[in-house]
Protein backbone atom coordinates (compact mmCIF):
# COMPACT_ATOMS: atom_id res chain seq x y z
CA UNK A 1 0.00 0.00 0.00
CA UNK A 2 2.82 2.37 0.93
CA UNK A 3 4.60 1.87 -2.43
CA UNK A 4 1.36 2.31 -4.35
CA UNK A 5 0.92 5.73 -2.70
CA UNK A 6 4.51 6.70 -3.65
CA UNK A 7 3.94 5.55 -7.22
CA UNK A 8 0.77 7.63 -7.51
CA UNK A 9 2.48 10.68 -6.00
CA UNK A 10 5.52 10.40 -8.31
CA UNK A 11 3.26 9.92 -11.33
CA UNK A 12 1.35 13.07 -10.45
CA UNK A 13 4.65 14.96 -10.26
CA UNK A 14 5.63 13.76 -13.75
CA UNK A 15 8.40 11.32 -12.84
CA UNK A 16 6.74 8.35 -14.57
CA UNK A 17 7.11 10.14 -17.93
CA UNK A 18 10.89 10.29 -17.48
CA UNK A 19 11.40 6.55 -16.95
CA UNK A 20 13.36 4.73 -19.70
CA UNK A 21 11.13 2.66 -21.98
CA UNK A 22 12.15 -0.49 -23.88
CA UNK A 23 12.45 -0.43 -27.65
CA UNK A 24 9.31 -1.77 -29.34
CA UNK A 25 9.96 -5.31 -30.49
CA UNK A 26 12.44 -6.09 -27.71
CA UNK A 27 11.99 -7.31 -24.17
CA UNK A 28 14.57 -5.11 -22.49
CA UNK A 29 15.72 -1.49 -22.46
CA UNK A 30 19.09 -2.08 -24.13
CA UNK A 31 20.05 -0.21 -27.27
CA UNK A 32 19.47 -3.21 -29.52
CA UNK A 33 17.43 -2.36 -32.61
CA UNK A 34 13.91 -3.79 -32.83
CA UNK A 35 13.66 -7.27 -34.34
CA UNK A 36 11.51 -6.00 -37.20
CA UNK A 37 12.42 -2.31 -37.24
CA UNK A 38 10.18 -0.87 -39.90
CA UNK A 39 7.02 -2.75 -38.96
CA UNK A 40 7.41 -1.68 -35.34
CA UNK A 41 7.80 1.96 -36.35
CA UNK A 42 4.39 2.35 -37.95
CA UNK A 43 2.09 4.19 -35.58
CA UNK A 44 4.82 4.49 -32.93
CA UNK A 45 4.78 7.86 -31.22
CA UNK A 46 7.05 6.97 -28.33
CA UNK A 47 6.46 7.06 -24.60
CA UNK A 48 5.09 10.15 -22.86
CA UNK A 49 7.56 13.02 -22.76
CA UNK A 50 8.70 14.82 -19.62
CA UNK A 51 7.22 18.31 -19.60
CA UNK A 52 10.24 20.33 -18.54
CA UNK A 53 13.94 20.30 -19.21
CA UNK A 54 14.39 17.66 -21.90
CA UNK A 55 17.81 17.85 -23.59
CA UNK A 56 17.46 17.89 -27.36
CA UNK A 57 19.49 18.25 -30.53
CA UNK A 58 18.83 19.54 -34.02
CA UNK A 59 19.58 16.74 -36.47
CA UNK A 60 20.31 17.00 -40.21
CA UNK A 61 20.21 13.68 -42.11
CA UNK A 62 21.41 13.55 -45.73
CA UNK A 63 21.54 10.33 -47.66
CA UNK A 64 21.13 8.30 -50.80
CA UNK A 65 19.48 4.91 -51.24
CA UNK A 66 20.40 2.61 -54.13
CA UNK A 67 20.00 -0.98 -55.30
CA UNK A 68 22.94 -3.47 -55.38
CA UNK A 69 23.86 -2.20 -58.89
CA UNK A 70 24.15 1.39 -57.66
CA UNK A 71 20.90 2.61 -59.26
CA UNK A 72 19.02 5.17 -57.14
CA UNK A 73 15.71 4.00 -55.63
CA UNK A 74 12.94 6.62 -55.43
CA UNK A 75 9.99 6.26 -53.07
CA UNK A 76 11.79 4.51 -50.18
CA UNK A 77 10.46 5.51 -46.75
CA UNK A 78 13.42 6.64 -44.64
CA UNK A 79 12.69 6.99 -40.92
CA UNK A 80 14.73 7.99 -37.94
CA UNK A 81 13.71 6.52 -34.63
CA UNK A 82 14.81 6.52 -31.04
CA UNK A 83 13.14 5.27 -27.89
CA UNK A 84 12.35 8.75 -26.63
CA UNK A 85 11.17 10.67 -29.69
CA UNK A 86 9.45 8.06 -31.79
CA UNK A 87 9.57 8.27 -35.59
CA UNK A 88 10.20 10.98 -38.21
CA UNK A 89 9.91 9.86 -41.87
CA UNK A 90 10.42 11.12 -45.42
CA UNK A 91 10.50 9.42 -48.86
CA UNK A 92 13.50 9.42 -51.20
CA UNK A 93 13.17 11.65 -54.26
CA UNK A 94 13.53 10.66 -57.94
CA UNK A 95 17.32 10.47 -57.50
CA UNK A 96 17.08 8.23 -54.42
CA UNK A 97 18.13 11.07 -52.10
CA UNK A 98 16.62 12.22 -48.86
CA UNK A 99 17.20 15.17 -46.55
CA UNK A 100 15.56 15.47 -43.16
CA UNK A 101 15.90 18.25 -40.61
CA UNK A 102 14.41 17.46 -37.25
CA UNK A 103 14.69 18.14 -33.58
CA UNK A 104 15.02 15.14 -31.33
CA UNK A 105 14.90 14.78 -27.60
CA UNK A 106 17.90 12.59 -26.93
CA UNK A 107 20.69 12.25 -24.44
CA UNK A 108 22.56 9.75 -26.57
CA UNK A 109 22.72 9.97 -30.37
CA UNK A 110 24.05 6.40 -30.48
CA UNK A 111 20.56 5.16 -29.61
CA UNK A 112 19.16 6.46 -32.91
CA UNK A 113 18.38 4.42 -36.01
CA UNK A 114 17.66 5.03 -39.66
CA UNK A 115 15.14 2.54 -41.05
CA UNK A 116 14.37 1.89 -44.72
CA UNK A 117 11.10 0.52 -46.10
CA UNK A 118 9.97 -0.04 -49.70
CA UNK A 119 6.41 1.27 -49.53
CA UNK A 120 5.55 1.24 -53.25
CA UNK A 121 6.45 -2.36 -54.07
CA UNK A 122 7.82 -3.08 -57.56
CA UNK A 123 6.80 0.35 -58.91
CA UNK A 124 10.25 2.01 -58.63
CA UNK A 125 12.75 -0.62 -59.70
CA UNK A 126 11.75 -3.69 -57.72
CA UNK A 127 10.74 -4.76 -54.25
CA UNK A 128 13.40 -4.24 -51.59
CA UNK A 129 13.86 -5.72 -48.14
CA UNK A 130 13.48 -3.50 -45.09
CA UNK A 131 16.77 -2.54 -43.46
CA UNK A 132 18.14 -0.51 -40.55
CA UNK A 133 21.29 1.54 -39.95
CA UNK A 134 22.43 2.25 -36.41
CA UNK A 135 23.87 5.72 -35.73
CA UNK A 136 26.82 4.25 -33.82
CA UNK A 137 27.93 2.70 -37.15
CA UNK A 138 27.81 6.09 -38.94
CA UNK A 139 29.88 9.23 -38.66
CA UNK A 140 27.86 11.81 -36.73
CA UNK A 141 29.38 15.30 -36.92
CA UNK A 142 28.54 18.26 -34.75
CA UNK A 143 27.95 21.21 -37.11
CA UNK A 144 26.49 23.71 -34.65
CA UNK A 145 27.31 24.60 -31.06
CA UNK A 146 24.95 24.29 -28.13
CA UNK A 147 23.01 27.52 -27.74
CA UNK A 148 22.49 27.25 -24.01
CA UNK A 149 19.51 25.92 -22.17
CA UNK A 150 18.55 22.40 -23.21
CA UNK A 151 19.77 22.57 -26.84
CA UNK A 152 22.84 20.35 -27.11
CA UNK A 153 23.77 21.58 -30.60
CA UNK A 154 23.19 20.65 -34.24
CA UNK A 155 24.46 17.34 -35.61
CA UNK A 156 24.67 15.93 -39.14
CA UNK A 157 24.85 12.39 -40.44
CA UNK A 158 25.40 11.43 -44.09
CA UNK A 159 24.78 7.96 -45.47
CA UNK A 160 24.91 6.09 -48.77
CA UNK A 161 22.96 2.85 -48.33
CA UNK A 162 22.24 -0.06 -50.66
CA UNK A 163 19.06 -2.07 -50.19
CA UNK A 164 18.87 -5.75 -51.06
CA UNK A 165 15.98 -7.17 -53.11
CA UNK A 166 13.20 -8.69 -51.03
CA UNK A 167 13.39 -12.49 -50.88
CA UNK A 168 9.90 -12.96 -52.29
CA UNK A 169 10.66 -10.81 -55.37
CA UNK A 170 13.56 -12.92 -56.67
Q: In tens digits, what is the pLDDT along the chain, a chain of 170 residues?
A: 666 676 676 676 765 544 444 444 333 333 444 444 444 444 444 444 444 567 777 889 999 999 999 999 999 999 987 655 667 899 999 999 999 988 776 656 777 889 999 998 888 778 999 999 988 889 989 999 887 777 788 889 999 999 999 986 44
Query: What pLDDT, on the 0 to 100 scale, is given for residue 94?
Result: 94
Query: What pLDDT, on the 0 to 100 scale, is given for residue 112?
Result: 81
Closest CA to 79 of 124, 121, 29, 131: 131
Q: Which residues pair with 155 in a beta bridge?
A: 59, 142
Burial class (CB in 10 A: 0-12, 13-18, 19+), 39: middle
CB-CB contact of 78 with 92 (8 Å): yes
Fold entry, domain 55-170: Protocatechuate 3,4-Dioxygenase, subunit A (2.60.130)
pTM over 0.75: no
Amino acid sequence: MKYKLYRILLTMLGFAACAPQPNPGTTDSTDNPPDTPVENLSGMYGPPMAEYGVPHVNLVINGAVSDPDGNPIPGIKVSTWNWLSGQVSKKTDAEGKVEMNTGLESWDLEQLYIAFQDIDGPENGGTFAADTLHFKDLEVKQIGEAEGGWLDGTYQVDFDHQLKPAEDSE
